[in-house]
Structure 1
């Protein structure tokens, strides 16, 4: 833990060079849509937000989105081994299934168990990632308790664009990709494709057989403008194979397929914008030839209709109202047995219909946003969620925000029908309060403090009063309660050719009944990202320090420090070489008890763009 304290101090001290001298462009202003479902500047958002832009994505040389997220404190990652293995994201200490993941604004979390497959999302196909911390069930429904991660897929620039890349690195990593797009006055289209292979490394620390990963991904889009009407069709998918080891260390593998097909029509009037979205989401996992039972599978297929209306009929009052209709079918088979007691011999159909309303208005220097949503769910009936937020300027450089909110998570099919399933489960409910203070003496220098407190009731836990061999079988019950309280400190700045982004989180995620620390979440996390421009070239440093964590069986996972070096070398006008030296200190650490993590290695990509 001494290493974590040291790095936290270094990270906070590293930004002292940043002075409020003017810069050519602001690095703190990003446009995002996730916080309010409307396009706003990031500095106008009342809840805490993080935007990972295209430059940071390219700088990272990451092979999946999870690697992008982990260098922002307050977003913790757990991974069951190497590339492609099951990956979880915890935001502000909440459970991993309390993180809602969207792609282009559409939910991609599976309806069975666990979170979205972040390990299968290729950064090369991503334009930016928007993260909103805190509850957002008032706008997006289930899972949005800890926060929302919205992954915006890549579109082309104006005119014609052509690009390609190859990459290589440790553990037999090799990959390639290409993209092309064209935009005219009324029409635009583009397609990107990537392929990635890695031999990986042993899943468990006490194994010696490498487990590989293969992922082929594509993103295609077509857009047409006809006066005030814009039509867009898009399709993203990733498919491949993940090798892993089971509990007995036997080699296994599984095939995966993730797909999102989206049709959208938007009409822009003078004071009214209406947007209709139709989407289909597919999440399939099928056990491969090496599996104990190759017929085992788990599937989610979801159809969504969302109609959003943005109204600016009264000056100073912004209204957003909408309807969301979702129909989801889940199915699965484990060790040859279908999901227990599920209707339709292992299949479960669930409808979730909702109406939402948000109002934003200003009174002098004060801004208020209120949002509410009523969700009608097949399993448990209705649930109401809401957010109330306030922000104000405190002079020229200071500003303050405060918010309260209620979120929920609907029980998944595995909670309801798998081993220990209970069809009478109710949703998990959260209540959150947060307060923020920012000091921004000029557009390229910001110091921020945020305090948060979240309580989650009716957590679903397995309860077996008579023990495994007792007369009465155990089952899932709404008996858990959690409390998370903490503080976040951040400093972002740009001065000349230097940019810096440092964050420190001090939190207490605990079981409210026992006081025990929640699993796989640290009480102290610090991150720092430092870059130095050298003309057309660039050098960078990434640092992450995490404190001790607790895992199943009351195992204690030691704290760790990761340091990465990054570099960009502009070889010619259209050619760039990017490299990352990962885990510079060759830190031996665990994210999950007994599972391996990557050691020191070099990863590089050569990219062409026109």
Structure 2
């Protein structure tokens, strides 16, 4: 089901809960790659890690990845309306721009403003999602303050695989997809495609016009082994159209395109593994025919090169060293005004070069991990980030871990050059501390407690000393400070055929200058998942209870409770029917002030696999 280990957060991996994948399997740990950039078993991880595996993805019947994430401990989702609308993810109270999103290890966050387009990623393309909480800038660079979400696309698990599915649900949801893949000893390849359409519902609560969403996604890959070298090329692409309403409730629409193309060559010797990754990422939004100004657009094009080396020459010492180069170009127009770094240029270029080093070693029952990175950024110069972690067993049932970390977020080109732009901006800097304790008296029962404290300095905020009344407009400044303190308590158990996973988040996300609660983040969130296999079939319950949140204008958003029911019915050897009753209580709630959310609805899918 999910792997979640509440333990120290601030560095690279935690004491993860073992996943519950099926009724007749033990709770075995996943193999993780995001926490330390090298494959490790979950019981070696030190910071908090969540793994959403393929079984949980299929059980959810979710329309996008954001819906999968919102039921995971420590992750809060805000959405400006229905499917396809702007979506934000907050990890442990940090800003949404402090969440780094990767697809197959490649950063897809846009270089302009805002977070990655989670609403455009279809779960059908995803094998698993690894989430590491706390700063990971020492390994991944900018944005990795709250945590890292690594979306790993599907590959082949057998010699030959064929699959197809159709889905339907409330708000005119309909979709279909197919996939084919093969994996041999030296060669593998696969391709999958899916299309989703929904009529949606009104964006605003005081509007009556349904706003729809279209998304067509393709994922293709090929892998070949050439002696000691393995080469893989992959391409993921999502494109479509999102209808929405502007602040005046007028109907608008925009076309989107998200692409990630990657080539990876890996060589493995006895004590040295080396991997070179070259990737290109495109994030493009263009206003459609209904828009106020159809010439408006925003575009990010990024080329990345990463060379990673895992060195195990010294027994007991694991070293990872690498170089990372990024060349990024952003461009855009908003209400006819270009996003630009020079008058008339209409684009902004940013370079980021970095070197990173990580060391992990064990002394008896104690495990240590230290990582550091120096990043040279064309916008502001150099910045150093690091992580330090320690963990140990306390007898046969208890374990403890602790971590410290420093992260950063580089100012986006919208911060630097759009309205209020300030080319002199410095990066936002975080400092985090984590302490985690786990008690596991039996393989099928586990309690975990994590305490965390994060301070973020030099947050970029718009400032106008004249309050919009002076002759000159204000500009963005590094004047904000935030502090997030909290605790996570998790319980995972297998009670006969029942599997239970519950997590409670208690946090204080506050503005250090004013003491106000940070926007769209609750102080209390409870999640629970219960699964009951019935032979080859399955029943499940999913629950999310969120406390009161604050929005712009000091508006208070009421707390809410969501309950979903899910069922799986095996129709013979190759056919599976899945159904989900979402928002069983028909809760009327808001994630963003004035915007609609989905009511009670039934969603179903029929899948064929061979």
TM-score range, shorter chain: over 0.9
The residue matched to 2:290 in structure 1 has which SS? coil
Post-superposition Cα deviations, 1:274-305, rounded to whole Å, max 9, x if no partner, equal 00000000000000000000000000000000
The whole-number CA distance in structure 2 between the counterparts of 1:413 and 1:442 is 51
| 1:101-112 correspondence to structure 2 within 5 Å | 101-112=101-112
Equivalent residues of 1:28, 1:43 under 8 A apart: no
Aligned residues: 588
Query: CA offset at residue 184 of structure 1?
Result: 1.7
Query: CA offset at residue 41 of structure 1?
Result: 1.5
Structure 2 equivalent of residue 479 of structure 1:
479
Equivalent residues of 1:46, 1:401 under 8 A apart: yes
Structure 2 equivalent of residue 73 of structure 1:
73
| 1:367-386 correspondence to structure 2 within 5 Å | 367-386=367-386
The whole-number CA distance in structure 2 between the counterparts of 1:480 and 1:329 is 27
Structure 2 equivalent of residue 503 of structure 1:
503
Are 1:209 and 2:209 matched, yes or no? yes
The whole-number CA distance in structure 2 between the counterparts of 1:473 and 1:174 is 47
Structure 2 equivalent of residue 12 of structure 1:
none
Post-superposition Cα deviations, 1:181-219, rounded to whole Å, max 9, x if no partner, equal 011221100001000000000000000000000000010
Structure 2 equivalent of residue 297 of structure 1:
297
Post-superposition Cα deviations, 1:341-398, rounded to whole Å, max 9, x if no partner, equal 4466220111000000000000111100000000000000000000000000001111
The two structures have a TM-score, normalised by structure 2, of 0.96
Q: Give structure 2 stretches of 5+ with no counterpart.
A: 1-22
The residue matched to 2:345 in structure 1 has which SS? helix
Equivalent residues of 2:481, 2:512 under 8 A apart: yes
Equivalent residues of 2:340, 2:348 under 8 A apart: no
Q: 1:340 to 1:277 in 2, by over 3 A?
A: closer
The residue matched to 2:312 in structure 1 has which SS? strand
Structure 1 equivalent of residue 422 of structure 2:
422
The residue matched to 1:135 in structure 2 has which SS? coil
Equivalent residues of 1:406, 1:430 under 8 A apart: yes
Structure 2 equivalent of residue 528 of structure 1:
528
| 1:241-390 correspondence to structure 2 within 5 Å | 241-342=241-342, 345-390=345-390
The residue matched to 2:514 in structure 1 has which SS? coil
Query: CA offset at residue 471 of structure 1?
Result: 2.6
The residue matched to 1:145 in structure 2 has which SS? coil
Post-superposition Cα deviations, 1:300-358, rounded to whole Å, max 9, x if no partner, equal 00000000000000110000000000000000100111015446622011100000000
The residue matched to 1:369 in structure 2 has which SS? strand
Query: CA offset at residue 446 of structure 1?
Result: 1.5
Equivalent residues of 2:32, 2:41 under 8 A apart: yes
The whole-number CA distance in structure 2 between the counterparts of 1:503 and 1:369 is 26
Equivalent residues of 1:137, 1:144 under 8 A apart: yes
Structure 2 equivalent of residue 218 of structure 1:
218
Equivalent residues of 1:241, 1:255 under 8 A apart: yes
The residue matched to 1:66 in structure 2 has which SS? helix
Equivalent residues of 2:523, 2:548 under 8 A apart: yes
| 1:164-175 correspondence to structure 2 within 5 Å | 164-175=164-175
Q: 1:249 to 1:260 in 2, by over 3 A?
A: same
The whole-number CA distance in structure 2 between the counterparts of 1:438 and 1:148 is 22
The whole-number CA distance in structure 2 between the counterparts of 1:341 and 1:388 is 38
Query: CA offset at residue 44 of structure 1?
Result: 1.6
Q: 1:249 to 1:558 in 2, by over 3 A?
A: same
Structure 1 equivalent of residue 402 of structure 2:
402
Structure 2 equivalent of residue 155 of structure 1:
155
The two structures have a TM-score, normalised by structure 1, of 0.96
Structure 2 equivalent of residue 541 of structure 1:
541
Structure 2 equivalent of residue 7 of structure 1:
none
Equivalent residues of 2:340, 2:347 under 8 A apart: no
Are 1:458 and 2:458 matched, yes or no? yes
Structure 2 equivalent of residue 32 of structure 1:
32
Taking only aligned residues, the RMSD between alpha carbons, in angstroms, comes to: 0.9
Q: Give structure 1 stretches of 5+ with no counterpart.
A: 1-22
Query: CA offset at residue 26 of structure 1?
Result: 2.9
Equivalent residues of 1:575, 1:609 under 8 A apart: yes
Query: CA offset at residue 412 of structure 1?
Result: 0.1
The whole-number CA distance in structure 2 between the counterparts of 1:43 and 1:250 is 53
Are 1:91 and 2:97 matched, yes or no? no
Equivalent residues of 2:171, 2:198 under 8 A apart: yes
The whole-number CA distance in structure 2 between the counterparts of 1:26 and 1:371 is 33
The whole-number CA distance in structure 2 between the counterparts of 1:327 and 1:487 is 38
The whole-number CA distance in structure 2 between the counterparts of 1:158 and 1:496 is 31
Equivalent residues of 1:374, 1:384 under 8 A apart: yes
The residue matched to 1:314 in structure 2 has which SS? coil
Post-superposition Cα deviations, 1:422-457, rounded to whole Å, max 9, x if no partner, equal 000000000000000011123332210000000000
Structure 2 equivalent of residue 584 of structure 1:
584
The whole-number CA distance in structure 2 between the counterparts of 1:207 and 1:30 is 46
The whole-number CA distance in structure 1 between the counterparts of 2:465 and 2:451 is 38
Query: CA offset at residue 156 of structure 1?
Result: 1.1
The whole-number CA distance in structure 2 between the counterparts of 1:303 and 1:156 is 27
Post-superposition Cα deviations, 1:209-262, rounded to whole Å, max 9, x if no partner, equal 000000000100000012211000000000000000000000000000000000
The whole-number CA distance in structure 2 between the counterparts of 1:343 and 1:441 is 66
Structure 1 equivalent of residue 58 of structure 2:
58
Q: 1:234 to 1:343 in 2, by over 3 A?
A: farther
The whole-number CA distance in structure 2 between the counterparts of 1:224 and 1:448 is 42
The whole-number CA distance in structure 1 between the counterparts of 2:90 and 2:40 is 25
Post-superposition Cα deviations, 1:459-482, rounded to whole Å, max 9, x if no partner, equal 000000012130332000000000
Equivalent residues of 1:28, 1:444 under 8 A apart: no
